[in-house]
Amino acid sequence: MNTPRRLLLVNGPNLNLLGTREPEIYGRETLADVEALVIATAAERGVDVRCVQSNHEGVLIDAIHAARADCGGIVINPGGLTHTSVVLRDALAGVSLPVAEVHISNVYDRESFRHHSYVADVASVHVIGEGVGGYARATRQLLDILA
């Protein structure tokens, strides 16, 4: 497969609060920092990124569906929807695009309800607990799969 021209970066609920929400867990980097990192990482390989963040599940699902038209893969941090949303998982499965799942914190060192991911079985890449820098690794690994 040829390297895609575009990736979709999806950030779920509450990730708009990065930098101020529980910085001892999530760090001081902002959502704008995350987006800039993924854009720069993808640009290393000539790939564009479309970014979406929403606190509304349907908005994320619509963006995932739209990605079928012009994206080669999806980098996603579903936030709390990771542990609750079969619908989000089904949207990812339904578009048949490679997926990289990212979590800033190590969800396995946190509350037990965070240990299950509905996204895990549809993702080809899993980067967990590496902070915001994990987005760059997830992007590179996804692009490796697509190349």
Q: Which residues share a beta bridge with 76?
A: 10, 101
List residues with catalytic annotation.
26, 103
Give the three-class secondary structure for 126: strand
Please tell me what DSSP assigns to residue 133: T
Strand order in the sheet with 99-103: 48-53, 6-11, 73-77, 99-103, 125-128
Residues within the annotated binding site for substrate? 77, 83, 90, 104-105, 114
Reading phi first (left if > 0) and then psi (alpha if -120 to 50, else beta), residue 104 is in: alpha
Task: Find out whether 77 and 104 touch, Cβ atoms under 8 Å.
Answer: yes
- Locate 29 and state its tokens: 């980097």
